[in-house]
Structure 1
Amino acid sequence: MLGKEFHDHELLAAICRAYNDWSLEYCRSDPERLLMAAMLPMQDPKLAEEEAIRAAELGATCFYVRPNPVEGRNLYHEENEALWSTLEELQLPICLHDSGSPYWPSYGERMDTHTSGHIIAHPFEAMVAMMSLIWYGTIEDHPELKIVHVEADAGWLPYWLQRMEQHWEFSGNAEHPKLKKRPTEYFKSNFLVACRGDEMTLPAVCDLVGDDYLTFNTDYPHPDGTWPNGMADLEQQPLHESSKRKIFWDNAASVFLNHSL
């Protein structure tokens, strides 16, 4: 639904409401285990803002948004400003998750098979979304906006932060005047990245970036996910037990449950 043009934005908003209502009802079957991510009709930022408020009042824990440009608007576009302000007021995070679509620009569209497109689309879209939200001033303007990258792995994170820091060193904010701090400072205050338990680079990410900025996902029930071995994979990683607890629980709890443990 979020990967189509939907010229009838009111219809799209109605579909999102129906989906979100169903999701909330489903999660109420076991509220101790299930938290609901509401889908927002980003094709119309005003309708997305209205649905965010409605879904939050009903019990949504976070909001699902694609990292891709939607109808020519990147996430940092000025038309999204009111939505980001509303999410700050609601104190609920957004989860960025790419998905296959023939309608929105995606790095995956350069490939001619699903597999090759899938390999690049998820991490590349996450990287670009993180960079643009930082460099175009969205995080500076919305310091309470929490962003979670899901199902794009985490091995790219040290390189990407280094890449942004290199550009800060030689160009500063000359072309991006809203950038008031180093890119890594914005990352550490506003972002969380979900990893798989079987990532061989995970110890390096914890060492180079820190274990405070990672959480865990399995991509259940998709065939490319790690279920049913995802938790066991993470348990077997050569990490401190305190790091595993942060990745499994503490870091996500501080964002999704809005408290620290």
Structure 2
Amino acid sequence: MPLQDHHQIISVDDHLIEHPRVFQDRLPQRFKEAGPKIREVEGKHMWEYDGTVYPTIGLNAVAGKPPSEFGMDPVRYEDMIPGCYDPVERVKDMDLDGVQAALCFPSFPGFAGGIFHRSQDKDLAFASLQAWNDFNVDEWCASAPDRLIPLALLPTWDIDLSVREAQRMASKGARSVTFPDSPVPLGLPSFHSEHWDPLWSVLEETGMPASLHFGSSGYVPGFSFINSRVAGAEMTAPDAPFAVAIAAFATNLMWTTMDLLFSGTLQRHPNLQISLAEGGIGWIPYVLERCDQTWEKHRWYQKIDFDTRPSELFRKHFWGCFIEDTFGVANRQKIGVDRICIEIDYPHSDSVWPNSRKVAAAALAEVPDDEVEMIVETNARRMLNFPRRS
């Protein structure tokens, strides 16, 4: 049955481009000079932060452009449609696209705040991170509270600060926290350690899922294999075009999923929820099959859960997310229809705006109405604790 008018699309992965005053309007005076600000550099708009200049990557703001005009070069705000950085205009673009609500990840800070994590001045980094969080809740989402879903960054370099910021943002109405798809490339303890347990406990208590967006660790598959025992070993040819990395990005979340399934974290935190943002879903059935096979044969001598199949853990803790994934939709029963969400990815290059509703309708044309409703709306509302207001 095709997508119906009563089906409200909830995107669990969109993005916002921070407007130039986000940080300067909110930072304490002592941090304003070093804090993030927009500079004109050779006719382009660039972010300057703590003495370093960062480009606004063109692929992050291509909504409304044909693929023939995509590019990696930095862009000016005038080159973007206003919905990229203006929440009022964003809602108008969502109306045009037939999308009811969206969870929006950062741009300048990185999907999980990697810019701040790598900063040498951690006081400045934390103040800037809190400025982004307050902007997201108090300005961006407050402009349309039934349409824009609050998300929080965490100061991943300090577990105690992360716990407190997660608690603070939950009290402000955040529905999820964004977290690196792997802490290891950032020099942090892995998912296999107990380092993150205090944070996972807070997420359980507050009902906020950890949204793990691919690429949020800074690891680019196809260019450097961080998990290799050989430092700097390449997965593909070193002269491969960036298209290889773009095609392989979702494999980040395959590694993430397997790490977490065998980490023991999910057994210690039975209510922890994890969203695999922009990871696709077509790979999930095979990865679960492979993990179960591994568990059957190797749990006897390894320090892994002896009693619970990885596939059972997945269907209790994980949410798969997709934009266009014909194979995944066809194999949705092997994933769990109640564990699949849709994403729009506006204004990035994977988005099909302003045709998202049309594309979703075609993708779900053979799916029963009750399953369509779960995939496009109710699963996301349940995951994010974001009920309909009317």
Partner residue in 2 for 1:171: 298
For residues 96 and 179 of structure 1, the distance between their equivalents in structure 2, rounded to whole angstroms, comes to 26
1:118 — aligned with what?
246
Deviations 1:138-163 (A, max 9, x none): 10000111111111111111111111
Distance 1:257 1:115, change over 3 A: same
Offset, 1:180 = 3.5
Amino acid aligned to 1:125: N
- Is 1:38 equivalent to 2:152 in the alignment? yes
| Cα distance in structure 1, aligned partners of 2:172 and 2:284 | 34
Aligned equivalent of 2:207: 91
Residue 351 of structure 2 corresponds to which residue in structure 1? 225
Matched letter for residue 257 of structure 1: N
SS in 2 for 1:145: coil
SS of the aligned residue for 1:236 comes to helix
Alpha carbons of 1:106 and 1:138: their partners in 2 closer, same or farther (altered >3 Å)?
farther
Change in CA separation of 1:38 and 1:100 when aligned onto 2, cut-off 3 Å: closer
User: Which residue of the partner structure matches residue 153 of structure 1?
Assistant: 280
Per-residue CA distance 1:159-178 (angstroms, 9 max, x = gap): 11111011011112632334
Alignment of structure 1 residues 127-138 onto 2, 5 Å? 127-138=254-265
1:256 counterpart residue number = 384
- 1:3 corresponds, among 99, 114, 117, to 114
Q: Which amino acid aligns with 2:145?
A: P
SS of alignment partner, residue 149 of structure 2: coil
| Residue 15 (structure 2) aligns with | none
Question: Within 1, Cα distance between the matches of 2:203 and 2:301?
Answer: 29
Per-residue CA deviation, residues 87-125 of structure 1 (Å, 9 max, x unaligned), is 111111110002377xx444243365432212212x111
Q: Within 2, Cα distance between the matches of 1:218 and 1:24?
A: 20
Partners of 1:39 and 1:164 in 2: CA distance: 31
Question: 1:232 is paired with a residue of what secondary structure?
Answer: helix
Computing the radius of gyration over CA atoms, which structure comes out larger, 1 or 2? 2
SS at the partner of 2:301?
coil
Q: 2:331 corresponds to which letter in structure 1?
A: V
Classify 1:45/1:241 alpha carbon distance in 2 versus 1 (closer, same or farther; 3 Å): same
Match of 1:120, as an amino acid?
Answer: A
Match of 1:142 among 264, 269, 290: 269
2: CA distance, partners of 1:96 / 1:67: 5
Q: Is residue 187 of structure 1 aligned with residue 301 of structure 2?
A: no
TM-score after normalising by structure 1: 0.90
> TM-score scaled to structure 2, two decimals?
0.62
Gaps of 5+ in 2: 1-108, 225-237
CA shift, 1:27, in A, is 0.3
- Aligned CA-pair RMSD: 2.1
Structure 1 residues 16-27: aligned runs within 5 Å: 16-25=129-138, 26-27=140-141
- How many residue pairs get aligned? The number is 256
* Structure with the largest fraction of strand: 2
Tell me the secondary structure at the aligned position of residue 48 of structure 1. Answer: helix
Deviation at 1:213, TM superposition (A): 1.1
Higher helix share: 1
Contact kept? 2:282, 2:329, Cα under 8 Å: no
Q: Select the residue among 221, 224, 243 that pairs with 2:371.
A: 243
For 1:31, give the aligned amino acid: P
Residues 38-95 of structure 1: CA deviation (Å, up to 9, x unaligned): 1112122222111111111111111011212231422333211111111111111110
2 CA distance for matches of 1:36 and 1:108?
A: 32
The answer to whether 1:211 aligns with 2:327 is no
Partner of 1:199: 325
Provide the rounded CA distance (Å) in 2 between the counterparts of 1:143 and 1:173.
23
Change (3 A) 1:259 1:136: farther
Give yes or no for contact 1:39–1:64 (8 Å, CA) kept in 2.
yes
